[in-house]
Amino acid sequence: MGVKERRAREKEQLQQQILSAARELFVNEGYENVSMRKIANKIEYSPTTIYLYFKDKADLLDSVCKETLLNLLNTLERLKRDNTDPIETLRKSGKAYVEFGLEYPQDYKLTFVIRPQFQKGLGLQEGSVGEKVFNYLREMVSECIQQQIFHQADVETTGQVLWSAVHGVTLLLIDFPDFPWTEKDKLIDTVIETTIAGLKA
Amino acid sequence: MGVKERRAREKEQLQQQILSAARELFVNEGYENVSMRKIANKIEYSPTTIYLYFKDKADLLDSVCKETLLNLLNTLERLKRDNTDPIETLRKSGKAYVEFGLEYPQDYKLTFVIRPQFQKGLGLQEGSVGEKVFNYLREMVSECIQQQIFHQADVETTGQVLWSAVHGVTLLLIDFPDFPWTEKDKLIDTVIETTIAGLKA
DNA sequence: TGTTATACTTAACATCGTTAAGTATAATAA
DNA sequence: TTATTATACTTAACGATGTTAAGTATAACA
């Protein structure tokens, strides 16, 4: 009776194959410039096959995003495990957050900019990966406040200020690649340092 | 010999009519969901007529955004005229920037998020209104540095850090209206205060 | 060996941005 | 006033898009 299991395995493999092809194309060519036919070509199936595995193109991007956000969450939580100093963890987390956005700009923009526009409140609703990421930020900030590193005691506001800073610099770097930015790493570091310094003051 | 002038006037009127229709549709339905045919319908001309006035759909978006940016620039420059204290002007400008974004969220997103996606690098090039807005920021930061208010002497980096902060909080407030934010004005003020404090430190 | 469910494909639809060719009409010249 | 020319706009079409309905092989089962 292993037939059903094998079939299920094969389906899952193809689903993953579609997902991988879509990710690669989305990242390299941009969501709008990737057609279902292009994805189908890449995996050597007919375009309609994709619809047996994903509701539509947006669902496909949704799935790609969820995967990458899980990666981000993993990266962040690994950081927390390896570090004991909360302020240092916060620093590294901020950097990792921005770098994630720059590595997967399409995913980042869909999740944090495009999708909320059409599906209001769906980006950070309960149980979503996005919410888990913000919860991670809450925990870190909370530790910093407990150790009296930050002057202000409001976890929520402090977290939101930090998030604004990293979100802002991430999107600016993504959206205006030709602007004469300060060297990328220096800018990111300065944004994070400035915000932390401001919270300490 | 007023014929030519009248003709030119009529052409300009139609151009403005197209622009207005496009803005209204873009803002209400989103750039991607608005077709050239839909715009044409609204002004009761054939779709191809639009191409006699604008190179393509992206050019149309470009023009809409330029208008929006000019509005923002006007708001900011009025602020500078009324104020002498540079740090106070900076504070108020930051607040005005965010409030502009929240008052015209669709325009803001079109200009700073959607357009760069379709017209790479065209948002802040030389002579553009976007560049003028950033130049305004440069001047203000420059004055603050001259008066030795900010510790760091790098005008560019300092400006970019400030921009990241206000851009970030603006977009977060627009895109996640259902998130349990700290009270709006308090959050905006805290973001600006924190960043300025960090730059002073 | 015949039946049925599964996995995939073919063909088509409506719509998109955009271009080339064509047509009225207004302005000019005779 | 009439013929010519320039201007403003439209019609028709192209290739490509996301997506759906209908059809076809093939594998699994009775």
CATH of the domain at B25: 1.10.10.60
Q: Is the pLDDT of residue A106 over 90?
A: no
Provide the token pair at B63. Answer: 């023009």
Residues A139, A189, single domain; the answer is yes
Which of A31, A54, A77 is the last residue before a domain boundary? A54
Q: What is the mean pLDDT of chain B?
A: 91
Same domain assignment for residues A20 and A85: no
Q: What CATH number does residue A65 fall under?
A: 1.10.357.10
Tens of pLDDT, residue by residue over A55-97, are 999 999 999 999 999 999 999 999 989 878 999 999 999 999 9
Q: Are residues B98 and B171 both part of a single domain?
A: yes
Task: Give the chain A residue whose CA is nearest to the CA of B177.
Answer: A121
What pLDDT does B14 receive?
97
d(CA A108, CA B124): 22
The whole-angstrom separation of Cα A109 and Cα B112 is 12
Rounded Cα–Cα distance for residues B156 and A85 (Å): 31
The alpha carbons of chain B give a radius of gyration, in whole angstroms, of 20
B43 shares its domain with B100: no
Query: Do A167 and A130 share a structural domain?
Result: yes
Q: Could you tell me the residue range of the domain that residue A48 belongs to?
A: 1-54
Q: Is A127 left (phi over 0), alpha (psi -120 to 50) or beta?
A: left
Residue B83 has pLDDT above 80, yes or no: no
A45 in contact with nucleic chain C (CB within 7 A): yes
Q: Is A56 (CB) below 7 Å from strand D?
A: yes
φ, ψ (nearest 5 deg) of residue A121:
75, 5
The answer to whether A16 touches A60, Cβ cutoff 8 Å, is no
For residues B28 and B63, membership in a common domain is answered with: no
- Considering the domain architecture, whether residues A63 and A12 belong to the same structural domain is answered as no
pLDDT (tens digit per residue) in A129-185: 888 999 999 999 999 999 989 987 799 999 999 999 999 999 999 999 989 999 999
- Radius of gyration of chain A from Cα atoms? 20
User: Which pLDDT does position A185 carry in this prediction?
Assistant: 98
Give B120's pLDDT tier (boundaries 50, 70, 90): low
Domain tally, chain A: 2
Q: List the structure tokens of A56.
A: 């539509």
pLDDT in the model for residue B94: 97
Q: Do B130 and B169 have their domain in common?
A: yes
A residues 48-107 near B, CB within 8 Å?
Answer: none
Are B7 and B74 in the same domain?
no
> Does A146 share its domain with A48?
no
Q: What is the rounded average pLDDT of the residues B158-180?
A: 95
